[in-house]
Amino acid sequence: MTGDGTRSVHAGLPAAQPGEPFLPGPVFAAPYHLDPRTGAVGNEYGRPDNPTRRSLEAAIGELEGGTVRTFASGQAAITGFLLSVLRPGDTVALPSDGYFAVRAFADETLRDLGVKTVLVPTAGPYPSFAGMRLVLLETPANPGLDVCDLRTVCAAAHADGAMVAVDNTTATPLGQTPLALGADAVVASGTKALTGHSDVLLGYVAGNDRALMDRITRWRTLTGATPGPFDAWLAHRSMATLDLRLARQSANAAAIAELLADRPGVTSVRWPGRRDDPSYPVAAAQMRRFPGIVSFDLGDAERVARFLEASALVYAATSFGGLHTSADRRAQWGDDTAPGFVRLSCGIEDPADLLADLTRSLDAALGAG
């Protein structure tokens, strides 16, 4: 097996052809020329299929270890998956501490369709899965960064007849491969660390069950939730540096977590790669690398505002996984977090510069004492 860097650089690329680019440019086409008699000759219409999108899906599939269908956003991928799988009368388990928009979708859409939702914390304890159609996990959870043991939960769910899907957004396929750990499907936002340049909206579903992936494909075709060719091309281009970006982001997260843990006035520091973190034993056994996300609490919204205003390197921004370090006070978006809770997304800046900037910013927010 080749290394992560090699896989990231070469994933989904066509065979080398003299005079052709490494990565072909985006195919800007809605309709294609058809055979006058038989019609279909491969490419027909851009909504169900597009050559640029196929190349991206092949690249992600090589990293996730399954067939991939991309969507216009992570939320489009997750909701498309849920609506493709669930039927009236079904029960689905969702993470109580995962991405809040998924819970909102369950409350506002799935409930009206007759689907029952059971909320379960990522770190457990987990109930019996008997009678459930689907268990959706998110590990590490966004934004609290708890981790669940995928092999154990997948085995328990399958024993009770339930499917398992894993939101792999925070980890990325270089951090963990849920399909290899027993999951039936992966859902993820490619907007975050996978593409990592804060310039693309993207989502995807991955799996190895042909019938399931056929349903996902059919749903996407009929609803039109597809990414455009330029977004697909940008995403594929950006994936080549995934290994390098994650290495720096994870190293920065390790240094920042230690700084925050020793800082008076900062509480509830979480990073699953830190040995004192409650998720560390499971994360260390399950994950190939730790994410570049750190969470902590500054006590109240005003302190968070002073911290962000004082920083020269930490941008106030939602989303995560980009090249630039950013921080987000999640409560302002209606997320069920404390008023001073911060999700810090580590960029690829020099570690010493980030630590110096964070120290100055915390001094301004909390006082130097």
Complete edge-to-edge strand list for the sheet that includes strand 134-138: 67-71, 203-207, 185-189, 163-167, 134-138, 91-95, 116-120
Q: Is the pTM of the predicted complex or chain greater than 0.85?
A: yes
The whole-number pLDDT of residue 1 equals: 61
Structure tokens at 314: 């930490």
Q: Please determine whether the domains at 4-239 and 242-366 fall in the same fold group of CATH.
A: no
- The topology under which CATH files domain 4-239 is Aspartate Aminotransferase; domain 2 (3.40.640)
Q: Is 224 left (phi over 0), alpha (psi -120 to 50) or beta?
A: left
State whether the Cα torsion 294-295-299-305 is positive or negative: positive
Q: CA dihedral defined by 30, 35, 36, 38, rounded to 10 degrees?
A: -110
**Cβ distance 246 to 293 under 8 Å?**
no
Going by their DSSP bridges, the two strands 203-207 and 91-95 should be labelled as unpaired
CA angle 325, 56, 233 (to 5 degrees): 65
What's the Cα-to-Cα distance from 81 to each of 107, 151, 204, 222, rounded to whole Å? 16, 21, 9, 13
pLDDT number for residue 23: 94
Q: Would you state the pLDDT for residue 225?
A: 95
**343, 293 Cβ separation under 8 angstroms:** yes
Q: Torsion angle of alpha carbons 339, 342, 343, 348, nearest 10°? A: 160
Neighbours of 82 (CB within 10 A): 23
118 beta partners:
93
Q: Mean pLDDT of residues grouped by 10 in the chain (369 residues)?
A: 92 94 93 87 88 97 98 98 98 96 96 98 96 98 97 98 98 98 98 97 98 97 96 98 98 98 97 98 98 98 97 96 96 89 98 98 86
Give the whole-angstrom CA distance, residue 4 versus residue 189: 20
- pLDDT value for 277: 98
Report yes or no: 198 and 348 within 8 Å, Cβ to Cβ: no
How many residues are listed for the chain in this entry? 369
> Which CATH number among 3.30.1330.10, 3.40.50.300, 3.40.50.970, 3.90.1150.10 corresponds to the domain 242-366?
3.90.1150.10
Domain ranges for the chain:
4-239, 242-366
Contact at 8 Å (CB) between 158 and 131?
no
**What is the pLDDT at residue 368?**
66
**How many whole angstroms separate alpha carbon 35 and alpha carbon 43?**
11
User: What is residue 334's predicted lDDT score, i.e. its pLDDT?
Assistant: 82
